Amino acid sequence: MTMRMDDFHHTTRRSLIMAAGRSLGASLIIGALPKPPALAQDASAALAAQLGEAHLLGPAAPATPLFTYGGSLPGPTLRQKLGDDFGFQFQNRLSEPTALSFGGYPVPANMLGVPGLSGQAVAPGANTDIRFPLTEAGTYLYAPFDAGQAARGLAGALVVEDATPPEADRDLVLVIQDWRLAPDQRIHLTVNGSPAAKLAARAGERVRLRIVNATRGLFLPLKLDDHPCWIISIDGRPAEPFPPSEGRLLMAPGSRVDVLVDLVKPPGAQLALALEMADGEVPLAALAYSAEAALRTTPLPAPQALPMANAAAQPKLAGATRLTLEFGDEPAPNFLPEALASVAAGRTLVATVTNRSASTASVHLYGHAARLLDTLDDGWKPWWHDTVGVASGKTIRLAFIARAPGRWPLVARRGGDGVPLALGWFETTGQATPGQAISGQSTPADAAPADQPAIPMPPKKPR
């Protein structure tokens, strides 16, 4: 059966586990975990949206026709270097218009890939040039703005490598997608195009997992089994390393989490990534230890925080421009005719988002990263986000610095199917003041100095 909207009334882990248990196929096939190909970075590099197919239920099942990037599922990993100027030709070989969006990555406004607000969709048979500077390292999702096209397979990872990466023996991208394949519309999940799969590893290694929730609208309660691990990045932005409680990760649709894991068990063991369901855990992927002797017997030291572009620039609530976005159950067919707010580049915005629908929704901030404020605006969570969840009947507040001139989307999507419930936007005018900040934002006059945060900061290692 299809995912019901009342499966998403609350963003508690328990309710999401119950939802997963009711909605996902009971049997998942163990197979080989493919590694997404990488897009070559040269003057002739091109990425095409085109038809393809894949055996999503295993090699013995019929192939499913798909939309793909470059003929692969997921699309090729766009692995690039911080500071480079990234460019390629995007080709539309589908029979319908499409556009390429990089979500929260700080692209110029004319590269947002959001038809109806910033730029136009690429017509069938047409090409367009994509080019923007890589001002921020991290793990990001590229996909069409159209959730229906994403549901047919269009998704991939953008990886901008750190200037000084943390020590790791492997760097793996895991792109999770969802499918409604059977007549009863039960949901099946794949990781890198395979339903529950294994990848070779070696005892004693430290592995960086870049986990990307590319589902159209699923909140995923994930769990890494009993291994030492640290979350080092959320939504592409560095976090003070901390161990997830009992290895649990709760990922909103479109979100990304980078985790360092030490493979401390003996040869022949495995590291499992599973989905927690009401009646148990369902494996999604596993790193199977080889029979080789351990690479090292003494674990590496705990990781240090990754560098962040001008992390001193924090939103300042005093004098911030406030905007409000409210939505109910009715889908939003078009972007709002007027901006929710208009501010000069470099100024602080606080967005109050209220969910009056019957389902949990995901909120997506394009081209920016935000702090999620505490209930009384007296502090914020110790991470940057471009994608967050908001439960039915609840309100959240996001504080961020307007980055650069342009029209920037603030979008709410229904949990389960990703249907837009609110298509809001804000406008940034003028030139950013000199200096770089988080997400390529300018260092604004109203940003709090490093030694005097605008509001009290939480502990570095939350419980």
CATH (domain of 343): 2.60.40.420
Token pair 């940034």 is at which residue?
428
Q: Is residue 277 domain-shared with residue 372, that is, in the same domain? A: no
Is residue 378 included in any domain, yes or no?
Answer: yes
CA separation for the pair 30, 198 (Å, rounded): 7
- Is the residue at 74 inside a domain? yes
pLDDT at 455: 29
Q: For 216-256, how does the pLDDT look when each residue is reduced to its tens digit (9 = 90+)?
A: 999 999 999 999 999 999 999 999 999 999 999 999 999 99
Which residues lie below 8 Å from residue 156, measured CB to CB, with a gap of 6+?
36, 69, 74, 75, 76, 77, 78, 141, 142, 143, 175, 214
Supply the DSSP string of 343-393, one letter for each residue: EETT-EEEEEEEE-SSS-EEEEETT--EEEE-TTSS-EEEEEESEEEE-TT
Which pTM does this prediction carry?
A: 0.87
The rounded distance, in Å, linking the Cα atoms of 328 and 393 is 9
Q: Is residue 153 domain-shared with residue 69, that is, in the same domain?
A: yes
Specify if 271 maps to a domain. Answer: yes
Of 442, 367, 438, the C-alpha closest to 406 is 367
Phi, psi dihedrals of residue 147, rounded to the nearest 5°:
-65, -30
Residue 456, pLDDT score: 29
Q: Which residues are CB-contacts of 42 (< 8 A; sequence separation ≥ 6)?
A: none
Give the strand order in the sheet containing 420-429: 342-344, 420-429, 406-414, 361-365, 387-390
Indicate the residue type of 161.
Answer: E
253 three-class SS: coil
β-partners of residue 407 are 427
pLDDT at 23: 42
Domain span at 192 = 5-289
Q: What pLDDT is recorded for position 123?
A: 98
Q: Which of 237, 267, 289 is at the close of a domain?
A: 289
In a domain, 302, yes or no: no
Q: Is 336 in the same domain as 253? A: no
Per-residue model confidence (pLDDT) at position 6: 32
Boundary (domain end) residue, out of 235, 267, 289: 289
Q: Are residues 69 and 191 in the same domain?
A: yes
**Is the alpha carbon torsion for 370, 3, 212, 124 positive or negative?**
negative
73 and 190 in a single domain? The answer is yes
Judge contact between 21 and 13, C-beta under 8 A: no
Tell me the helices (H) and strands (E) count for the chain, helix number first: 2, 29
Is residue 118 located within the same domain as residue 245? yes
User: Given this model, what pLDDT does residue 39 score?
Assistant: 57
Domain count, the chain: 2
Residue 271 sits in the same domain as residue 216: yes
Does residue 453 belong to any structural domain of this protein? no
Chain-centroid distance, C-alpha 6:
24
Q: Report the DSSP pairing between strands 127-133 and 85-92.
A: antiparallel
Q: Are residues 221 and 338 in the same domain?
A: no
**168, 217: one domain:** yes
Determine, yes or no, domain membership for 427.
Answer: yes
CA distance linking residue 63 with residue 181, whole number of Å: 11
Please indicate, yes or no, whether residues 28 and 85 belong to a single structural domain of this protein.
Answer: yes
pLDDT (tens digit per residue) in 44-89: 589 999 999 998 877 888 899 999 999 999 999 999 999 999 999 9
- In a domain? residue 450: no
Strand partners, 66: 52
143 is a domain residue = yes
User: Token pair 């999401």 is at which residue?
Assistant: 16
pLDDT < 70: residue spans in the chain: 1-44, 309-312, 376-378, 431-463
C-alpha R_g of the chain: 21
Same domain, 34 and 170: yes
The reply to whether 48 and 161 lie within a common domain is yes
In three-state secondary structure terms, 70 is: coil
With a CB cutoff of 8 Å and minimum separation 6, the contacts of 152 are 66, 67
pLDDT of residue 44: 52
Residue 111 φ then ψ, to 5°: -110, 10
Is residue 229 within 8 A of residue 265, CB to CB? The reply is no
* Cβ 150 vs Cβ 54: under 8 Å: no
Chosen domain end from 268, 289, 310: 289
Evaluate whether 222 touches 189 at the Cβ level (below 8 Å).
no
